[in-house]
Structure 1
Amino acid sequence: MGFFSKKGGEGVSRSEKITGNAVVHQTQSTVSTGSTSGEQYRPVFLLCYPSATFKSHWALFVPLAEDKNCRAGRKIHVTGNVQEGFNHEIIRNYDLSETHTRPQTPKEIGIVSTRYLVEVAKDLVYAKDTTARDPFEEFILSLLRHTSTPAALSLIANDLKERRSGPPRRVTLSDCQWWIMRIVEKLVEQNYMLPPTRGPNKGMSPLEILKNAPKH
């Protein structure tokens, strides 16, 4: 399930407006799994920004609870490389209808319980943040902090090599797609993220959805 199909590079500015009419499909910012517990869930989307020369930039997007169109919310991504390290960034009140450049059609990859999502005043104002404001963000940022040190990267590389069969191959750790895959893998493993309950990816594993996501 997504909103925009126009391709564009990475970048955003709240002050910049889109010319033309944005196409937005009606959806809901909270969903239910059909359980009698009454627990509410928020969808999590993958944003893919294609590039003519590099691999697509990937980011996670969680819409605001009050935005029934799922246009505005928090964008979580990383930038950097293995040699210099990675920097995480949370862009709050990131509005898909007001970005200067747009991602490809956002893909719903899973749902997260609203128990882990806390909206604060900062979420309603466009800003770049590096501080976790709720359990969901803390879990993600703790993974980034743990795996961004040289020692941790070395352990990860060795672990990946040991898992492979056949001749050794070069381990690539220096892109945001790798990070998103690892983050979602841990979110699923710890039951923070469940499969979508609607749309074309209904019931699919978030990891399986990522495997089929645009790489370029």
Structure 2
Amino acid sequence: MSRTIYLAVFSNGPKPAHQAVFIPTGDAATGKKGNIIHVTGNPATGFFLEFKRNYDFEFEDRKYQVVTLVQVNAQYIRDTVGNGEPSTDTIARDRLESVATVVSPPGPSPNPFGSLALNCQNWMRDYVERLVVEGLVPSSAGLIMESAPRLL
């Protein structure tokens, strides 16, 4: 059995859009609640990996776009609903999250306002590439990443 995972792209004003992997709880086709895998931070201070559990797009104020990324084997995903309340942590609970822990988030940039400063989009591309290398997702995921919006 397979599950669909998505690329969520969030507006960040005039700066590069924020990107995250969104995994709907139970793979509901119209699901707006699930888990987010992303790095958070900024080029000046660096980024860190975070898992948002029970994330709900119903409460998202920013402009966003959700793009189908790929189908993955359901055995690599573990829904972590808990009490149903939103929470964040840094502890991997399934195979997709475990792979995220071995992809280093960008550290502080010597020129955080320069066009070459690394951000969450760089990490997301590295993460998806690692998923491909590990054989968890098809290489077509890289093509989706290449065509994803950089600004919203």
TM-score, scaled relative to structure 2: 0.82
d(CA) in 1 for partners of 2:76 and 2:116? 31
Consecutive unaligned residues in structure 1, runs of 5 or more: 1-39, 154-169, 196-204
| Structure whose residues are more often strand by fraction | 2
Consecutive unaligned residues in structure 2, runs of 5 or more: none
- Superposed, which structure 2 residues align to 1:9-158 within 5 Å? 40-65=1-26, 67-81=28-42, 84-104=45-65, 106-122=66-82, 124-144=84-104
Change (3 A) 1:51 1:188: same
- 8 Å CA contact 1:47–1:103 kept in 2: the answer is yes
The percent identity for this pair of structures is: 28
Deviation at 1:123, TM superposition (A): 7.6
Question: Which of these residues, 116, 125, 142, is aligned with residue 172 of structure 1?
Answer: 116
Q: What is the one-letter code of the residue matched to 1:191?
A: G
Q: What is the one-letter code of the residue matched to 1:142?
A: V
Deviation at 1:73, TM superposition (A): 0.6
TM-score, scaled relative to structure 1: 0.60
Change (3 A) 1:73 1:175: same
SS in 2 for 1:124: coil
d(CA) in 1 for partners of 2:132 and 2:62? 30
SS in 2 for 1:46: strand
Deviation at 1:120, TM superposition (A): 3.3
Change (3 A) 1:108 1:70: same
Q: CA RMSD in A?
A: 2.6
d(CA) in 2 for partners of 1:109 and 1:66? 13
Change (3 A) 1:175 1:43: same
d(CA) in 2 for partners of 1:88 and 1:181? 14
- 8 Å CA contact 2:4–2:68 kept in 1: the answer is yes
Change (3 A) 1:46 1:68: closer
d(CA) in 2 for partners of 1:183 and 1:66? 21
Match of residue 149 from structure 2: 214
How many residue pairs were aligned?
147
Deviation at 1:184, TM superposition (A): 0.3
Larger Rg: 1
